[in-house]
Amino acid sequence: MIEPLLVTKIKTVTPKVYPGKAPESEDGTFVVYRRSQTDRETHLSGPSGITYPEFQVDVYSPSYTTMATISDELVQLLDGWIEGPIMYCMVENDFDMEADPEEDGYFRHLIQLRFTYRS
């Protein structure tokens, strides 16, 4: 499973990482990730075992400078990442976003990742 590898990698930059949504009680800087889709490579003989999962990683912080610094560190760390079953990680896009209404007072940066992964 790719998620534990991604979480471990993100935690080398910032410790608070959540799947899907952060707890309502969360304050400070944190990261939320979610899988947005997975394409699968198939051959005539069946599945190849190679998948192309895509993830959205959102960095939230009450400080713009902190949000921007962590986002830049994550982009540098993840773009071109190769390790174990991760054959390649590409940052497809990253940009500042308006924070979700329930995250009022936060700055948000979205990072879109596409992996080549051997399952």
Give yes or no for a contact between 40 and 47, defined as CB atoms under 8 angstroms apart: yes
Q: What is the pLDDT of residues 67-106, one digit of tens each?
A: 999 999 999 999 999 999 999 999 999 999 987 766 678 9
pLDDT at 6: 98
Give yes or no for a contact between 107 and 67, defined as CB atoms under 8 angstroms apart: yes
This prediction's pTM:
0.91
| Domains of the chain, each with CATH number or no CATH | 3-118 (3.30.2000.10)
CA-CA distance, 56 to 63, in Å (whole number)? 21
